[in-house]
Amino acid sequence: MIIVTGSSKGLGLAICERLCSLGVDVFGLSRDISNSPFPSMSCDISSYNEVKKVVSTLKKENKEVSGLINAAGIASMNLAVTTPPNISQKIIETNLLGTIYCCQLIAPLMMRKKHGSIINFSTIATSLGLKGESVYIASKAGVEGFTRSFAREMADFNINVNCLAPGPIDTNLLKGITAKQINKIVSQQIIPKQFSPEAICDLVELLLDSKSSSISGQVLNVGGV
């Protein structure tokens, strides 16, 4: 079974749909799971206790977990000086702490089997240091650092941990960003084009596949920087 956070919309949903189409057993985590077409559980990943409840449920149901995709995330495009503290806190709690909580609580389900793959999500904006995204970038830089270190901790258990850092993908996370702004970011990539959610799903498939078992602790900037 592959656990996907942020499964109700955006990249998380696209990844779930792709995996389901491949016949993979998917389990979604999201705050809103109404109308979920695949098995899901309501969970606010920024709450350690809620993630713990999910793990407890999975254990009771004897679910065998072989992968975790931390796709849940929020964004707020603001200059640092105009970002209210509650927004900064929410971004850090969801993007960084949420990823950490899911990794530390769900990884033991894979450690027992000495097999698994964890995929975290950052953004190409972290490498580019884009203006107006400093708090969001701070949270994602944390995810990248966590990924590199956590990958070493998991290596003894044959669990690969990597991070995908896409550019502006066409999802609801981009609402409020103009085409001009998107083009400006895309033009800084080595491959200057806006990638689709399907391209990210291809990379997820690759990182879940045993063919990528030699890759761990890496941050893959989609489109290149």
Partner 1 sequence: MTEIRQAVNQLIIDVIEDKTIQVNDNTPLIGDGSVLDSMKLVELCLSLEDFAEEKGFEFDWTSGQAMSRSRSMFRTVDSLLTEFLSQMEVKK
Q: Where are the beta strands (DSSP E) in the chain?
A: 2-5, 26-30, 40-42, 67-70, 116-121, 159-165, 219-221
Q: Is 136 a catalytic residue?
A: yes
Q: Least CB distance from residue 104 to partner 1, whole Å?
A: 7
What residues numbered 172-211 form the site for partner 1, per CB under 8 A? none
Three-state DSSP class for 160? strand
The answer to whether 52 contacts partner 1 (rule: CB under 8 A) is yes
User: Hey, what are 61's tokens?
Assistant: 């149901």
Q: 56: alpha, beta or left, given left = phi > 0 and alpha = psi -120 to 50? A: alpha
Residue whose C-alpha is closest to residue 160's, from 218, 96, 85, 112: 218
The least CB distance from residue 68 to partner 1, in Å, is 16
Catalytic-labelled residue, pool 121, 136, 150, 195: 136
Which residue in 59, 131, 193, 211 binds partner 1 (CB under 8 A)? 59
Strands (DSSP E) contained in 48-177 are: 67-70, 116-121, 159-165
Question: In angstroms, rounded to a whole number, what is the distance separating the alpha carbons of residues 135 and 124?
Answer: 14
Q: For residues 105 and 125, which CB has a smaller minimum distance to partner 1 in the complex? A: 105
List the one residue out of 219, 12, 11, 15 whose CA is nearest residue 126: 219
Closest CB 112 distance from partner 1, rounded Å? 5
Interacting positions 70-129 with partner 1 (CB under 8 A): 104-105, 108, 111-112
Q: CA-to-CA distance for 155 and 125, rounded, in angstroms?
A: 28
152 near partner 1, rule: CB under 8 A: no
64 binds partner 1 (CB under 8 A): no
Size of the site for partner 1 (CB under 8 A): 10
Q: Which is nearer to partner 1, 38 or 48 (CB)?
A: 48
Query: Residue 147 has which token pair?
Result: 């990924």
Residues acting as catalytic residues: 136
Interface with partner 1 (CB under 8 A): 52, 56, 59, 104-105, 108, 111-112, 153, 156
